[in-house]
Every structure is written in C-alpha cells, then in structure tokens.
A and B are shown apart, each in its own frame.
Chain A
C-alpha cells in the first residue's frame, strides 16, 4: 500500500476545465472520499489517478514514484466501478482469480490468494457457486474480491453503491468500512452522497466546479464548513442560512438579526458593512416559548428519537432538530435560540466563512 500525492493537477476538455489545480495527499492506508455534485470533477480526478485519463498539467505520485503519464496497467491500482461487473459464465473462484490468471501467476498461488481474499470477505462458502445465482450483496463482495486479490497499492472506487436501495446501501457502507479496517488499503472513493462520505471517510475533499472547496476530516467539514457551498452540501437537513447586513470587528461576540442579538463565536477579522449569512446546523437550534428569533411553525417531521421542526421566519425557513418528546403546535408562534459557539458566519458575495474562534480553534488544534 502507498501514499498518493497529487500536485496542482489540471484537466481541460477543450475549453472546459474539469479539474482546476487540485493539490492533496492521501496518506498510506487512508480512506479518502471525493464528494460533490455531478460535473464537479471528482470522477475525472479519480480517473487521472488511475491512469484512465491523462492530465493537462500537474503531477501524481504513487508511493513516491511519479506516475503522471504512465499507463493504467503500470500503476498497480485496482479499480472498482459500479460493482456487479462479473463474468456470468465463470464461478466465484474463477471471477476472483481472473486478474491473477491474466498476470500469468502459477495456479497454486492463485488458489491460495483467492482463498485468502474470500476469507477476508467472508465468502469462502461461495467459492464454487455460479455468480448468476448470487444475491446482490454477494455479487458486490465477489467484485471486491477481484480487486483485493491483486494486493494493489491503492483502490479506486467510483460510486460503487450508487445503484442500491437505501437500506442495503447503509449495510454495504458498514461492510466496506469494516473491510478497510481489516486491510488498511489506501482507498480513493468517489460519491455524490454525503451520508456515504460521512460514514466511511478518514478524509473528505468537497469539490465544486473543478475546485476542491475543502479538505478535511468529516467532523471538521461538518462543524467548520469553509464555504456556503460546503455547508449546504453536507448535512441532512443541510445548514440553515439566515441573511443579514452588518459590519464586523475583531472581538465581536454577537450580531443583530431583526433587532435581536444573536451570539456568535468571537470574530477574528474586520469586515466593512456587507451582506452576511448566519449558518446554523439544525441540531444547534432550540425552540423556546419566549424571546429568540420569532417565527411560525410550518410543520414537524417525527423521526422517532428526534423530530425536525420547520419554522418560517422573516429571514427564511429554519429547520430545528429537537427531541421528539417536545410538542410543537403547527402554526404556533415560537422563538428560535441558537447555540452560539456552533454558529458560522459567511460573506455572501464570496461565500467563504468569516474567521472566528470556532474556525481558528481548528487550525491551531
């Protein structure tokens, strides 16, 4: 297994720049997820690392070796597409062993490696079965087996769970992560599903229009989104945005929305008066009878342990995630209170997060 280093990687298709100067490092043994909407450049980046696409400029180092312009076959990487791409006429053993047979490996060694892969994936009892009779989950395990049997330096996975229904996807997420914890294989995984990314990744790169907007651990990205795009893309429901206009000064600890003082983490930069947005996660919103930012309850959605309450305010719709034991009457007039230390502030024009104690704490800690 190996570290992957990407330096200033660029890819243009004619006039269209799909990837604009990406730089990041995936450490040896890390599960790295590239997350973003369709067309953001995540798959193109993956294909360049795998050698299926050549970059316009920049470099890619695999285990310290420059592989930027090497063929895919020379890179020792295993690619897992949308799974299920199995040879229907071969049994499980032959499917898993196929890449090794192509390499001309002796039969005895193939047998040993296939059995080892099957043990890791816990499908030993399926080895002599036909693939056509297998359940969807077992087919995926076989497809994974074909990738891990080669013991490559890294795995590339392009939306491997995209075609599955919600319940099964959740199960496979757990299984993929558990597999990673056993193999410690460097993995680059592409998805547009933020839940998959949050559940599996050691590090996430959030991409938008060919640019990496933020690179960090799932919790960092969730708690301290670097831009409004990231804040909106991550979380279900996503971060609430409340627009206001104000100047900010170093040391400020509150802002004013509609004449109401709202606590924020200590501001660490000076900004002239401009359009700003307060960003609050639904679980950092409390519903109070008296005071707070007033609004009308639009509806509540029961989720068992918690509920999501939607409140219409003068600053837009706000969603709160609260315990389901609290009764909130529909149409009722309620107040919203925010957990000040969890609040982000964004500059509306650039979309970037304003520096505050919340953000600087991260950089130094």
Chain B
C-alpha cells in the first residue's frame, strides 16, 4: 500500500470540465470517500488515478512517483466497478485467482490458495469457491468482484459504488465488514458513492465534490458539524438540514452578512407553548424515526421527533436555536 495524490488534476470532456483543478492526498492506509450527486466528477477522478482517462492538466503521484504518463497496468492499482464483471466460464476460485496468475506476477499456487481462502472467509463466500461465477446471487457476485481486487496488494484500491447494486440489508452488512477488512489489511482506499450513509460510516475522510471541484475534505464529523457551505451541509444528515431565511429568527444574534440559517435536529429545542409561533403540521412515521414537520410563519421546518414525544398535529410550539450554522448570500459559511 502507498500514499496516492492528485495535484491540480483537470479533465475536460468537450465543453464540460468533469474534474476541475482537484488536489487530494490519500495517506497510506487511509479510507477516503468521494461524495457527490451524479455528474459531480467522482468516477472520472477514480479513472484519472487508474490511468483509464488521460489528464488534461496536473499529475498523479503514487508512492512519491509521478505516474501521469504510465499505462494503467504499470500503476499497480485495483479497480472495483459498480457492475461486477466476472468471467462467467470460471469458478469463483478461478475468478479470484485470475489477477494473481497474471504472467507478470507469477505467484506460487499454494500462496494463491492461502490468499483466496483468507479473503473469501472475510467476505463470507468461502463456501461458494467451487461454484460457477454465474450460479450466484447478485450480492455474491459483487462480493467475488470485491474479493478479486482484495487478493492483490496494490498501491491503492479504487472502488466505484461497489455496494450500490446490492439490496439494503446486504449493503448494511458489507459496509461494516468492508471497513473492518480495510483496517485489518491496512489498505489504502479511494471509494466513490452518492450514498451519504456509506460515506459517513466508512470514511476516514470524506471529499465532497461539486461540479468537478473538491469543495471540502474532512472527517465525517467535521463535514457534518462544520460544513463550509450550504451545498456540503445538505449532503449529510437525515432529515436534511433546514435552510431558512435569517429573518425567521430575528432574536438569534448573527453577523450582519448572514442571510441563511442552517438548522439541524440537534440545533433545535422545542417547547410546547400555547403562544409559540410554530405549529406542528404533520408527524411522519418512518418506523425507527419520526419526522416532525413544523410550520413557522409559512416556512416548513423538518426535524427528528423524540421517541417519547407527546406532540400532536395542530399543537403550538416555541422554537429555540442552539448554535445553528450561518451562511451568507452565496451559501458560504459565516463563522460566528
């Protein structure tokens, strides 16, 4: 494993700048997640590191060497794609052994066997090793695809939404397992997703991409608690952060530049008060949590309800803010 960096990397497709002057260093053994909606440049960034796309400007460094001009095979990276691509005529075992049997590597067969068994056990597919790759469920096939990357010890694992094709339950299980495997192997990982839960639960650091630019890089806690702009603030958190006009809370002291106040559940104290100006509009039961839909002077505010809440639709409540987030006209954070 090794440190991998992008320095001022830029990639254009026609008029569109897919990756715009991105600089990012993934430390040896670190798990970095790139988060952003479709079209933010996540996958292109991975492909630039892998060498599947040439750079228009900037450079890629792996373990201190500039590899920008090297072919993909020379870069020693392992790529896990969103759609598993297994060899259908081979068994699970032979699929996983394939990268190790490459003529440039010449790994002895008994070592291959040991490695595969260890990785297969971690991914809970050790009982399927002799199956044909096509005789597996979708979830198992994707685990084989991940396993085929993990049998190698490349400089970095590049993973492009590897869990997005799995069902919710399996995704949840593999999230925790994948993180555990990464830590045990001391693996360097750059992982791409649009799923905020995956980003928050697995990342050492999250990089938030917006139209090809890296707008913030930090630990999940930093990104959630200390976002640099409204775009970042809305990426994390369920329910989504409430962005309300500053005038809605005239009593809250805020710097003059502030135009928008960002309010999450933990910033909001609710007191039942018959003269409170906010009204309970709806209580949405989502099972494990309940969303409280409030209305304050025509402005909807959504927050998590306490488990033992006795609030009801139509109740008047008073709202108090505790250390909310402030943003200016452009959506940039204003620190109080």
Contacts and interface: CB of A to CB of B under 8 A. Distances in A.
A299 interface: yes
A236 B265 contact: no
A193 interface: yes
A69 to B, nearest CB: 36
Give the interface size bracket for A toward B: 20 to 34
Nearest to A284: B307
Interface residues of B, number: 32
A198 B201 contact: no
A234 interface: yes
Contacts of B12: none
Contact of B169 (A166, A238, A283, A305): A238
B38 interface: yes
Contacts of A308: 201
Interface string A283-310: 1000000000000001101111100101
Nearest to A308: B201
A195 B224 contact: no
Given A238-B169, A283-B288, A304-B238, A165 B179 contact: no
Contacts of B238: 303-304
B220 A219 contact: no
B287 A234 contact: yes
Nearest to B265: A305
B284 A199 contact: yes
A219 B287 contact: yes
Given A193-B168, A236-B168, A301 B287 contact: no
B286 A195 contact: yes
Contacts of B195: 166
A299 B237 CA distance: 20
A305 B288 contact: no
B201 A236 contact: no
23 contacts: A166-B194, A166-B195, A167-B194, A192-B167, A194-B168, A198-B286, A199-B284, A199-B286, A218-B287, A219-B285, A222-B287, A222-B288, A235-B288, A236-B168, A236-B288, A283-B289, A301-B200, A302-B200, A303-B197, A303-B238, A304-B200, A304-B236, A305-B304
Given A167-B37, A302-B200, A303-B197, 6 more contacts: A194-B168, A195-B168, A218-B286, A219-B285, A222-B285, A222-B288
Interface of A: 165-167, 192-195, 198-199, 217-219, 222, 234-238, 281-283, 298-299, 301-305, 308, 310, 321
Q: Which 5 A-B pairs rank lowest in CB-CB distance, beginning with the nearest? A: A301-B201, A222-B287, A219-B285, A304-B237, A304-B224
